[in-house]
Amino acid sequence: MNTPAKPQLIIIGNGMVGHHLVEQLIEQGATERYTITVFGEERHRAYDRVHLSEYFTGRDADSLALSDADWYAANGVELRLQEAVTAIDRDASEVVTDQGRYGYQRLVLATGSYPFVPPMPGSDRPGCLVYRTLDDLDAIREAAESASTGVVVGGGLLGLEAANALRGLELDTAVVEFAPRLMPMQVDSEGGELLRDKIEALGVQVHTDRATQRIEDGVDAVHRMVFQDDKVLETDLIVFSAGIRPRDELARDCALEMGERGGVVIDNQCLTSDPAVLAIGEVALWNNSIFGLVAPGYQMAKVAAATLLEGGESFRGADMSTKLKLLGVDVGAIGDAHGDRTPGAKMFRYLDQIKQQYRKLVVSSDGRRLVGAMLVGDNSVYDTLMQYYSNGLDLPEDPAALILPSSEGAPTLGPDALPETATICSCHNVSKGDICATLDAGATDLAAVKGSTRASTGCGGCAALLKSVVDHELEARGVEVDRSICEHFAHTRQALYDIVRVEGIKTFGALIEKHGNVDTHRLGCDICKPAVASILASCFNEPITDAAHIPLQDTNDTFMANMQKNGTYSVVPRVPGGEITPDKLIVLGRVAETYGLYTKITGGQRIDLFGARLEDLPDIWSELLDAGFETGHAYAKSLRTVKSCVGSTWCRYGVQDSVGMAIRLEERYKGLRSPHKLKFGVSGCTRECAEAQGKDIGVIATENGWNLYVCGNGGMRPRHAELFATDLDDERLIQLIDRLLMFYVRTADRLQRTSVWRENLEGGLDYLKEVVIDDSLSIGTELESQMQTVIDNYRCEWADALNDPEKLKRFRSFVNDSRPDPDIVVTEERGQLRPA
């Protein structure tokens, strides 16, 4: 008896949404019901377009791919790449390609969108490109090799990503936007102005209110762009990123119902006007809306899979809230961010032009519900605001507290405050209830929850919230949450610190022998070894280059220099407080010239020398030490810099000697190893030129002494430092910093920044004040003593290494060959050498 053939399901499009549909179908066993064929017109299998710009920073097509090369075939799905579907014959139920005709019983359009190029004379000139696919990026990279300037037409999300790419290709970059401001869909005039200021400060020109009329031959560059007011802008390369349009030509040609302005009309089950055909993603028009984000596309894919398998899922629209980092600038938009869709909406605004941060809350007319929010320059409150918005939670009595810079007294939302309906992962539409159901079904750790729900496997923005919810719910069920640092130690970092300090254990070998799981591996792993190395250094401050400690260090600590992408190293001598003599400046210039090093002023007021070969590091540091420099610990999880303004010594506004205090603090805490790197700032007045409120430790001068701010940071998740104590004299200031830093070193988790540590402290800032200021645990003297031990045992690691011939043997590129690494190739640019 012949088995009847399975119905043929064809999916046109192998982008992120089309791939997600295949994942959903495979998970639900659709290959038992359908023969599935996927057509993709690109040569690459589905890849992560959300992180497309990382293609310019070292990632390749394979690392961006959403599946292994054999994943489709291994799951019984035929993937036909570089085979574009050119027509759909609905009468014959066939799709047509240049290689043949293929019959279907069900068909899904996941063709996505294409970049819109405004119709104008000259837009098709060579060197006028778009920013959409990997092949587009290859074309941009190739064109940039012979260009020095580049312009992006379009100042929206994709336009600013494209501008960042051109800037990364070292082109002088400009953005041209038709609207009066950048990102007009996400930000208002105040936010747009601030966004413009921040982007221009990065060296990108911004031209708004500019409509390009034509592109013609340039005089001093390849192209000349002529605007509506006859002003011109010349450039060598033009990238169009002025929005997207649905790839709906196949649907239009086969007479499916279309929207007035494009897009294939779908219902709540993602069905088109032909019940055999579905559409998902950016080609689909639902309720007269096209959704240009990946999360709504994923939701459509989930609904389409259910429809194909006769399930009951429905698409009910999607939230278009977004949290972005563009050109290093945070931008967030939640719900009705402009407040123009909510009758009677009330607004709260906070603008800090010094720190360049803008926050806006849009609340309902009765002030009880958050209906929208807008953030520029700082997304640190985005997650909290999103939970208030998406779950309809009652706002606090003073909603403004949610956006004011000091979080002291501001409402916080812990996992227990979130309802079951709270969305934790918007990419895969995973709620808190879904997570709880997974735990109730037997999941016992974060990995199991992620594997079952796929939460945090999309953009990854919900990772911290997901872990918090999972840990909280496990503990609520009486499950002990395993916080072991790794398989080799059944202890947290804090427990290991206490063991090392109390028992006086000074080597990794002794620690793992007595308190570790030696059955797994006596040598430890890349998690526990650096953590233990940091703990040992925090307790005893012995040189990390000693024979007992060197196997624990990563590459940077091993060679006491930061490895760069071409295999060379950077040299960063300490410049306390940013103060340096002319003689020392001359030494740095001479060293850089002798060894062909690239020089740059860092954000922490130091001079960074890049491109040092491994075998040259000892000679370079020998010269620097002779000139009075010492290691700057730029390679370590320790104090990096203490940034200062010139203070009362020179500035007419200064009220205290900020340079003197910065030098005193840097000299005191240099060499302090900690769970994460530390940065300080000291400002001589409240004008805050040293940006102290963005540092782990911030000190701001007052007429009566110093105000102390703690637990701030820059980086991927910026945090304002919080006011900790006011009008301190010098000695009390240092006493409190001693206690706070050592309490942090003693209790924080591995690689945990001070801001995250403070957020996780039960009782928050008030508890920290009780411990450090009021000495509620009666450990103040002990903490001060521990800090003094670290200070007393400080030695410059490079000075120590240069005096030990055995340690110097490590500084050679090859064990059996004294020649330098032949693979290091450099080229000259702007009068300096850089990696080729």
Could you list the residues known to form a binding site for [4Fe-4S] cluster, using ranges.
645, 651, 685, 689
In sequence order, what are the beta bridge partners of 144? none
Query: Rounded to the nearest 10 degrees, how much is the dihedral formed by the CA atoms of 662, 667, 673, 677?
Result: 30
Q: Which long-range contacts (CB under 8 A, 24 or more apart) does 761-765 make?
A: 764/412, 765/407, 765/408, 765/711, 765/722, 765/724
In sequence order, what are the beta bridge partners of 349? 360
Residue set of the binding site for siroheme:
689
d(CA 133, CA 151): 18
d(CA 167, CA 183): 19
d(CA 595, CA 611): 9
CB of 208 within 8 A of CB of 196?
yes
What pairing do the DSSP bridges indicate for beta strands 357-363 and 322-326?
unpaired
CA distances from 453 to 27, 269, 319, 467, 680 (A): 11, 22, 20, 13, 41
d(CA 724, CA 737): 10
Q: Which long-range contacts (CB under 8 A, 24 or more apart) does 471-475 make?
A: 471/415, 471/446, 472/414, 472/415, 472/416, 473/415, 473/435, 473/436, 473/439, 474/439, 474/444, 474/445
* Cβ partners under 8 Å of residue 743, min gap 6: 768, 771, 772, 779, 783
What pairing do the DSSP bridges indicate for beta strands 35-40 and 8-12?
parallel
The separation between CA 346 and the C-alpha centre of its own chain, rounded to angstroms, equals 32
CB of 738 within 8 A of CB of 708?
no
In single-letter form, the type of residue at position 807 comes to K
* Cβ partners under 8 Å of residue 512, min gap 6: 488, 489, 518, 522, 524, 528
Tokens encoding 412: 């916080």
Cβ count near 652 (within 10 Å): 6
Q: Is residue 268 exposed (0-12), middle (13-18) or buried (19+ Cβ within 10 Å)?
A: middle
Residue set of the binding site:
645, 651, 685, 689
- Residue count (the chain): 836
* Cβ partners under 8 Å of residue 207, min gap 6: 174, 175, 176, 177, 233
Q: Computed over its alpha carbons, how large is the radius of gyration of the chain?
A: 29
Query: Residue 834: which of 570, 555, 601, 556 has the closest Cα?
Result: 570
Tokens encoding 105: 């019983």
Tokens encoding 533: 């190395």
